[in-house]
Amino acid sequence: MISSSQRCQFFVAAPVFCVALGGGGCGLVPHGCSTEARPAVVVEVVDSTSGGPLCNTSVVAREGAFSSVLQEFPASFSPPCVHMGPYERAGTYTVDVSFGVRSKSVSGLRVERGDCDHVVTQHLTVALDP
């Protein structure tokens, strides 16, 4: 018998498995599992003096040879100018933030997998000095 958590793992890793078992209760979305892609890291960049959001910043998440430029969401998003990514990738990241000549790196940001093999999103606020 395959448990719900095993179905979730198989659903993410090998969707054909459910078909091979004749459905076996897998359905399109296993019990308790969702199909959205979750970001490993959510980064909010703020000014260290005012605490206000800094928009149009560059944020890169790195792990070894892997790097990903995080997508910035617009000022109308809440919180404004937040960056997200990489999606569904666990690891231990260094996050590099830059805004003009201002920059900061944060290392050791650990992202793990949780239920249904989704990443557990880590939230980070980076305050850049003037």
CA 58 – CA 80 distance, rounded (Å): 14
Q: What is the 3-state secondary structure of 65-78?
A: CEEEECEECCCCCC
Who wins on pLDDT, 8 or 114? 114
DSSP bridge partners of 77 = none
pTM: 0.74
pLDDT band at 31 (very low <50, low <70, confident <90, very high): low
- Over residues 53-77, the pLDDT tens digits come to 999 999 999 999 999 999 999 888 8
Q: What is the pLDDT of residues 89-118, one digit of tens each?
A: 999 999 999 999 999 999 999 999 998 999
Task: Give tens-digit pLDDT for 46-57.
Answer: 999 999 999 999
Q: What letters, b where the CB count within 10 A reaches 16 and e where it falls short, cover 101-117?
A: eeeeebeebebeeeebb
Write down all domains in the chain, each with its CATH number in brackets: 1-34 (no CATH), 39-128 (2.60.40.1120)
